Amino acid sequence: MIENVAVPPAAPLCDAHAAHVAAPAIPTHILDNPRPLVSPLGIVDHALMMSRYQSPLRYPGAKSSLAPVIARILDAAKGSRAVPEINLLVEPFAGGASASLRLVGQGLVDRVLLADVDPLVTAFWQTAAADTEALIDRMHDEWTRYVKPGGVTAVDRWDYWRSWVPTRKAKPATVRLDLATQCLFLNRTTFSGILHGKAGPIGGRKQASPYGIGCRWNPEAIEERLRYVGHLYEVGRIVDVWHKDWQQTLDDVPSYYPQLIPSRVVAYLDPPYIEKASHLYRTSFDPRGGYGGNRAGKAGSDDHMLHMQLAGYLRTKAQFRWLLSYDNNPMLTESTWLYAHTRMAPSRVDREMLGVRSWPLTKRLVKTRYSASGKTGKRNADELLITTLPPSTVPVDHQLRELP
Ligand SMILES: C[S@@+](CC[C@H](N)C(=O)[O-])C[C@H]1O[C@@H](n2cnc3c(N)ncnc32)[C@H](O)[C@@H]1O
């Protein structure tokens, strides 16, 4: 059983995301400091706990179809000597958090910690978790006054939220609720759920399509999903929501939850894809920022530095086991700057000082229905999974194929 622990003071916002934060910044954690683990854990008791669709966000690149496969891998590892239980699943690229919600709802992991660098996304999850009723009220209000009437009223409101930025004088709690409302509004009314950039309102500016701006806004369904998130937070299953860069998240987990290191915590990482991601997220791994510059979202040879930084960290510094999903780009498994290696290679200092292990890397291919571009509808594509979970536990079969 995990005991409550005293937590060190909140870390300051790191430079990597300070650049993206409109003033005033949203909090780094839900409370002033990271929330301690609640123990004993409350029971998850909600109609959506086993449902396929649980996230209130329709997120580009969402991993709801991959969640059952991730569940299989975690379930197979659980109970092994190396991974007796998964007391915490950390999702540093949370986005729509579909995998985390599913895994914790099914009871495959005890708790989840969500983190993302996009302030809209983290404000949304922080508010959905800890200020659920206020966000539900705002959601109904936006629906009744703007989205339901449709036409010019709705498109004007879309323009309002698209250009809205918090004023410097606004109180942090108000800013967080406003950002959460902005996130939900834009996610539900914009083509493919894309929050920033060039994507327009569903149904077009003239609203001439039979699928108008409100066609993805079902107030009762959204309310139920928001309540599910609030419930998970209340019973201690969503531990916290961090507004941090992935590296800060991975660095901070061992200091805030040391009792779980190394064998009771696993990270699930779903970074922006190598291709096209700069069109989908404000913070992609494209060094020119989000929205693809002028190259239609195609990655160039100089664009992979951030992917390499992540790979370097995961191969040499990660203090707990991880599972990573990517688009199946051959470069990922061919380049020694990425994941061509067969095991982690920490430095002697990191082994001795931080206890970093040299876990083997196991790779699998999974067929998924992919819809990240939003323009071409769903198509079949292979997703690459790489993990440091014990190799003998990682299933191999028609669903989880070995690399050729
Ligand atoms: C592929 S999406 C995650 C989708 C998510 N797994 C889901 O099912 O909805 C990638 C996410 O990474 C976030 N992101 C991009 N760069 C980041 C960084 N440096 N640190 C943390 N999050 C980042 C983006 O804001 C985006 O939400």
Question: How does residue 287 score in pLDDT terms, banded at 50, 70 and 90?
Answer: low
Question: Mean pLDDT, to the nearest integer, of 155-159?
Answer: 98
How are beta strands 265-269 and 321-327 bridged, if at all?
A: parallel
CA of 92 to the centre of ligand 1 (A): 7
**118 C-alpha to ligand 1 centroid (Å):** 8
Total length of the chain: 404
Where does 15-117+237-393 sit in CATH, by number?
3.40.50.150
Bigger pLDDT: 165 or 376?
165
Q: Give the model's confidence band at 234: pLDDT under 50 very low, under 70 low, under 90 confident, else very high.
A: very high
Verify whether ligand 1 is closer than 6 Å to residue 121 (CB atom).
yes
β-strand 238-243 against 112-116: which pairing, if any?
Answer: parallel
> What does the pLDDT look like over 36-92, one tens digit per residue?
998 889 999 999 999 989 999 998 778 888 999 999 999 999 989 999 999 999 999
- What is the rounded end-to-end Cα distance, in angstroms, of the chain? 42
Tell me the domain boundaries of the chain.
Answer: 15-117+237-393, 132-221
Judge contact between 249 and 242, C-beta under 8 A. Answer: yes
- What pLDDT shows up at residue 3? 35
Contact in structure between 392 and 401 (CB atoms under 8 Å):
no
Q: Is the pLDDT of residue 268 over 60?
A: yes
pLDDT for 294 beyond 50: no
What is the whole-number distance in angstroms between the Cα of residue 90 and the centre of ligand 1? 13
pLDDT digits (tens, 9 = 90+) for 304-356: 889 999 999 999 999 999 999 999 999 999 999 999 999 999 999 999 999 99
Whether the predicted pLDDT of 290 surpasses 70: no
pLDDT higher than 70, residue 116:
yes
Q: Which band of pLDDT confidence, cut at 50, 70 and 90, is reported for residue 16?
A: very low
Taking the CA of residue 64 as reference, the ligand 1 atom at the shortest distance is 8
Write out the H or E segment, with its range, that includes residue 112.
strand 112-116
Q: Is 283 in the pocket of ligand 1 (CB under 6 A)?
A: yes
Query: Looking at 104-113, 157-166, 184-193, 302-311, which range is the least confident one?
Result: 302-311
Q: How far apart (Å, rounded) are the C-alpha atoms in residues 154 and 168?
A: 27
